[in-house]
Each structure stands twice: as structure tokens, then as C-alpha cells.
Amino acid sequence: MGLWLQAWADPSAFSEDSVRNPSDPVEERPVVRRSWYPIPMAFYQEETSVGFGVVGGYYFKSNSLHEISSITGSVIYTLRKQAKIHVNPRFYTRNGRLHFVGDLHLRYYPEKFYGVGAQQTNEGMDYISKAVSFRFQPFYRIRPDLEAGMVADFRAEMIPGGGTKAERAAEMYGRRDVSGWEPYLAWGMGLQMMYDTRDNVAYPQRFSHFLKVGWITYQQAWGSCCTMNSFSLDFRQFVPTWIGQVFAWQVCAEMRVGHNTPFGMLPTLGGSDLLRGFREKTYTDNALVAVQAEYRIPIWRRLKAAVFAGVGDVFDLYHPEFGHVEVGYGAGLRLRLNDARVHLRVDVAGNNEGQVKFYITATEAF
């Protein structure tokens, strides 16, 4: 595999980090300048051949280090005519009372199915996912650190040769009740609440907390493929230690209560954000619990380092079995790209199964 990258931003955005000791005086309304960055990349994988793409973002100027409107995303294309597109807009109104978050995914891309459950699997089954998903989240600020809002979620997916692949998956993994191989459309509505005392969304440096709880219901009565309720919890704490260093930790929990939920909508461990060190979707089931921590260390000007570790597991809500825990760990470097404290992130991570993964992306894991 080959990989190359280049970061670009408004030169005026590259200023000294605003890292201060807790006792130092802090400006209440720092100004964030407009900036943008593209990070080109190229890679090779057996299932994709040569691929290339770009990760980037545009950040609007802001009078608040916390409320920064932005449009971020990525585009990846391979020589086998496979592609995936991700767009993530975030907009704040001028008075800060409302903000809107969107999340759009378009993909025609190879995946691997490792079965459903916490059992260890050494072989993944290849398939192609043709999918579109969109999530829209409007929030209303009740007080400076508390917001509530609604969420609308839509997902449609088709797997070419789904029936044949379902039979093969049943033979490989011994599960004949996994939904999602046939084309499906799911959409749901729900509620969310968020408690947030962070000084900055991208890279908090003061003592702060973040808590987000959400519920989404999908109902066959209004045209969804299944009747299912989704519950999620995300708690984070950021603790400054000394000389600008920060200890950060996170607890995540997700549940899907219902039957015939497509496997592509089930909670999953792995990837660049949750339990680094495992390939995404290696472990999937209708419930997930994970804890991860990271220690962030300034090195020089815009350059930082981090060490991290995490534990987690998936399980079946209806027949819970515990005792097998996945462990991921690693280290990485960070390069600050703009005043909004967005970082280019390069991580190397291992796991308790002897695997090693390499990640290059923008923004922190949590």
C-alpha cells in the first residue's frame, strides 16, 4: 500500500496554539478566521485496486471558538469504478440559539461481512454496498450548555447478489436470521439532548464535559423496512493536566431494540474513531459498549502527539453473553490546520488479536 498526503490552509490561520494553564487569563470571545484544507491521498487494496481521494473542510469565520460553522467531507474513487462520498455540514445561527448538523453518505464500495455477534472470526466475506444515507439534526439551545432537538434518519441499501450471499453467509457463520442482504429502505424520527461545556468542539483544552443521548424510532407503519428503536449514549470528559497536556476519555453505548434490523444498521466496533486497531465492522450486534481514553501532548507549535487505548464489546440484547473484550491501543501525531483547532491526525493502532491498522484523517476520534 502506498499513501501520500498534503495539507493546505489559509496561511493566516497558522498561528501559535492557544494552549494556556488553567490559571492564565483567557479571552472570552476569540476570533476564528476563515480557513479551508484539502488532504489528498492515494492507496492500494486487493478489493479496490488503486484508489485515491481527498478529505477536506471549509470553516467560516466566527466570533466564538465553540460555535464554528463548517462543511467537511471526503471523496474516494478507485480504478474499479468504486466510490464513496461523505459530506458533513454544521451551521450556527447568528444568535447561537439554533444549530443544524447534517450527515450525507453515498457509496458504491467493497465491504467485508464478519458475521453478527462477538465471536471471533478469521475470515470476512466480500460484498459490495450500494447505499445512500442522510441524517439531519436541528438543535435548540435551552441554556449555554444544554441543547435539545429532533433527528431524522434515512438509509437505503442494495447488495448485488444479496440472496446468494445470504446463503453463503449462513454457511460461513451459522446465522440464518441476519437481515439486510435484500434491498431495504429505513427511515426514522427521534429526539436528542446534548450537554456540552467544551471550549472547542474539535480539540477541547479546558476542563469540560460532553453528554449526548438520543432515541430514534423506525416504524413499518410509515414505510420503513423494520420496526426498531435505536438508543445511543456518548459521554466524554476532558481534563487538562500540565503544560497544555490533556487527558480525554469517552464512554459509548448503543442499542437496537427490534427484529429484522439490517446488519448494516447495527452497532459496530472498529474504524478510525471507535476502538482504533480493528477493521470497521469486524464486530457487530444489536448492542455495544466501549470505553476509550487518550492522552494529548503538545510538542512544538502546531505539532502534537497522542497515546490512546480502548476496550469494548458487542452483544445480543436478547441472549446476552459476556466475557470476551476487544482491546485496541496505539499512538499518533497531530498537526493543527486552522484556528478552529482542526487537526490532521495520523495514528498507528494495534489490538489484542495481533493486528495493526494505520489511519490518516482530519479531526479527533472523540
DSSP string of 72-101? EEEEEEETTS-EEEEEEEEEE-TTSSEEEE
CA distances from residue 51 to 6, 68, 89, 159, 356 in whole angstroms, order as listed: 16, 32, 25, 21, 21
Q: Which of 141-155, 232-246, 265-279 has the lowest mean pLDDT?
A: 265-279
- Report the percentage of the chain scoring pLDDT > 90: 64
65 φ/ψ angles, rounded to the nearest 5 degrees: -75, -15
| Three-state secondary structure readout of 240-270 | ECCCCCEEEEEEEEEEEEECCCEHHHCCEEC
Residue 181: the pLDDT is 93
Q: What is the mean pLDDT of residues 10-25?
A: 39
Q: Which secondary structure element, helix H or strand E, spans residue 167, and what is its range?
A: helix 162-173
Q: Given this model, what pLDDT does residue 122 score?
A: 67
Q: Name the band, by pLDDT with cuts 50, 70 and 90, for residue 77.
A: very high
CA-CA-CA-CA dihedral for 114, 217, 215, 149, to nearest 10: 130
Confidence of residue 120 (pLDDT cuts 50, 70, 90): low
List the one residue out of 60, 321, 66, 108 whose CA is nearest residue 197.
66
For the cut 70, the answer to whether the pLDDT of residue 262 exceeds it is: yes
The total number of residues shown for the chain amounts to 366
Domain ranges for the chain = 11-19+27-362
pLDDT of residue 125: 87
Which whole number is the average pLDDT over 54-76? 93
Alpha carbon distance 279, 122 (integer Å): 12
* Cβ neighbours of 355 (radius 10 Å): 13
Residue 31 to residue 61: CA distance in whole angstroms: 7
Residue written as grid cell 487569563: 25
Q: Give the pLDDT confidence score for residue 177 in this predicted structure.
A: 75
pLDDT band at 16 (very low <50, low <70, confident <90, very high): very low
Query: pLDDT (tens digit, 9 = 90+) per residue, 295-315?
Result: 999 999 999 999 999 999 999
Single-letter residue type at 360: I
Q: What is the CATH number of domain 11-19+27-362?
A: 2.40.160.50
